[in-house]
Amino acid sequence: MVSLQKITVSLVLLLLSAVATADGFYRPAAGAGEAGMAYVCIMKPGLWSSFHNQASLSYYHNAAFSFSYENRFAIKELAVKSACLIIPAGSGSAGIFYSRSGFTGYRRETIAMASGLKLASDLSAGVQIDLFAEHQQGEYKDYLQVSCEAGLIYEPSRDIRVGIHIFNPIPNSLRNIPMPSSIRAGAGMTISEGLFAGFEAELVSGRKPVFRSGFEYATGKKAILRCGYSTAEPSFTFGIGFLTGPASVDIAFSTHPRLGITSGLTASFVLGKNP
């Protein structure tokens, strides 16, 4: 007999699938540091930012790896577990990303490989290949899709960065199952020592534009405070990060007007000097 909990979870999954953006359903959001700023990160170099805009990989000169856990609305069946690894290579870096969510009867997995490099002193570029898998029990079919994404970061000055990112430029006419495409553009600025502010706009095929703003303030060498806002739900976000040598821990929370609070935790490690 099917439990009421499983029925509820299945209904929530269907609801989320219907309203999710390309960063939600097909590209699972990861990184508590980025979540604390409402994912305003395509212009901001960082370990997990590198998989939101692959051009950020060019800023990493040391190997690093990270684990991320997102507890969506306090429902364990909706939790997203992710891991990533960055390996330096010449004038850029390569990255590997893995994410998994779901439960016994329904599971989603994402595997990606990315690369980013410096094209000039003020310009970076990156690309990524994605593999998306969806497994369902019973008479339902399993799905497997491949896509790609790419991004640029331009620095007009030392304190200003501009980023642009495109996901799934492949026409749906070439697919058996439609997949949304998206384009994100944003700019960020270091306002004063330790204080960073950014703004992003995202357009997903078939949906209204989404706007995000985020702030980050480093209180010293050990702690970072973050907050953000997104018009998608709408949602307010906040978080805090702790730095200890080559390791860092980030915690984030985001609100949803109907489904409640989503929390996230990330642990990251840089092998060698900080990038």
Nearest residue to 27 via CA among 130, 116, 113: 130
Nearest residue to 114 via CA among 87, 94, 88, 86: 94
Contacts of 273 (CB under 8 A, 6+ apart): 62
Contacts of 235 (CB under 8 A, 6+ apart): 38, 229, 254, 255, 256, 257
Q: pLDDT digits over 250-270, tens only? A: 999 999 988 889 999 999 999
What's the CA gap between 171 and 95, in Å, rounded? 26
Q: Check whether the bond before 88 is cis (ω within 30° of 0).
A: no
Q: Which amino acid is at 147?
A: S
Q: pLDDT digits over 106-135, tens only? A: 889 999 999 999 999 999 999 999 999 988
What's the CA gap between 87 and 94, in Å, rounded? 5
What's the CA gap between 123 and 132, in Å, rounded? 30
Alpha helices by DSSP H, listed for 20-130, are: 32-35
What's the CA gap between 275 and 272, in Å, rounded? 9
What's the CA gap between 21 and 228, in Å, rounded? 18
What's the CA gap between 45 and 42, in Å, rounded? 8
Contact 48, 30 (CB under 8 A): yes
pTM for this prediction? 0.85
Model confidence band, residue 10 (pLDDT cutoffs 50, 70, 90): very low
What's the CA gap between 196 and 52, in Å, rounded? 18
Model confidence band, residue 273 (pLDDT cutoffs 50, 70, 90): low
Distances 149 to 130, 145, 198 between C-alpha atoms, Å: 8, 14, 22
pLDDT of residue 30: 86
Q: Which domains does the chain have, with CATH numbers?
A: 4-271 (2.40.160.60)
What's the CA gap between 84 and 78, in Å, rounded? 20
Q: Regarding predicted confidence, which is higher, 179 or 56? A: 56
Q: Specify the 3-state DSSP secondary structure of 165.
A: strand
